Amino acid sequence: MAATQSSADVGVTAAPVSGTPAAEIKTKGPGRHAWDRFARNKLALGSLVFCVLLVLVALLAPVIAPFHYAETDFANKLVGPGVEGHLLGTDTLGRDNFSRMLFGLRTALTVAFGAEVTALLLALIIGLLAGYVGGRLESALMAGTDVMYAFPSYLFAVILVTVMGRSIFALILAIGVASWVTQARLVRAQVLSIKEREYVEAARSMGAPGVTIAVRYILPNAIGPILVTTSFGIPAAIGAEAGLALLGLGVDPSIPSWGTMISEGTRYLLSAPHMLLFPATMFALTLLAFTWVGDGLRDAFDASGDLR
């Protein structure tokens, strides 16, 4: 077993003891390996559980929520938590905050996952094409990404929403299109590096068609870093959706969004602080959970990560 450097200051290395029996080689696929590393990170694991819970809650929101999100109750405007069955109070129109928060979660996750999937697909297609086909197509595509890169991403999203109106679809597209660029570059870089490896050459020499090679060989090996960026993309997209809603450019105002809840909350801050507190906290926890999952994934796939 090779001893590793305990300090990089002094170049002390020790090589394996001669004559040690070869360590048992347990075959573990890279996926399994990464999962084990991930699982060791308690924070990431816990966050993953929390995220799964969030997804479940979002899916079941129509069933779980005690009230419909648009159901008004003018008799009970701006009441505090616990009053009249309203777990977290009501807003200016008497709508139940708790239900609105649940639906807000639903909105956030729908848009975020939708946007990320869009971005991922775009990035995969363009990245694979650029990396694998190369040549003029690659230069053209990369020049395109350069331009997109120079374009401020939220600017782009805002403009897109202006053009397409305030629908969930528009939002998904806007956020997705604004963020695919870095992913595409990453995909291309991965493709370029894997393309040169021997097993690809071997496959090619056996006559496998390009598409097969791309999908069956390159893709699975490139998946690691891509998975990481996608998982970081989700909190970013959640933030983007809420941000746009905050600006008044989010989904249709009748559909709850954490962004609108926050902007409303600041308006009634002094009389009903709970209107800001609960959505903000929920929002923060959601973001943190997804971010920690992303961190965990990144560390799990990063084989040499111990120099931090």
Interacting residue ranges for another protein, rule: CB under 8 A = 1-4, 6-19, 146-147, 149-155, 158-163, 185, 189, 235-236, 239-240, 242-243, 246-249, 262-263, 265-266, 269-270, 273, 276-277, 280, 283-284, 287-288, 291-292, 295, 306, 308
Report the alpha-carbon distance of residue 229 to residue 214 in Å, rounded. Answer: 20
- 123 or 213, CB closer to another protein? 123
Report the alpha-carbon distance of residue 135 to residue 214 in Å, rounded. Answer: 17
Determine which helix (DSSP H) or strand (DSSP E) holds 275, and give its type and residue range.
helix 274-301
- 176 or 235, CB closer to another protein? 235
> In sequence order, which residues have a C-beta less than 8 Å from that of residue 180 and are 6 or more positions away?
118, 119, 120, 122, 123, 126
Q: Least distance in Å: CB of 151 to another protein?
A: 5
- 92 or 291, CB closer to another protein? 291
Residues pairing with 96 in the sheet: 90
Whose structure tokens read 């963020």? Answer: 179
Residue 152 per-residue DSSP state: -
Q: Least distance in Å: CB of 27 to another protein?
A: 25
Q: Is the separation of the CB atoms in 182 and 150 below 8 Å?
A: no
Q: Least distance in Å: CB of 48 to another protein?
A: 16
Q: Least distance in Å: CB of 198 to another protein?
A: 25
Q: Least distance in Å: CB of 234 to another protein?
A: 11
- 18 or 205, CB closer to another protein? 18
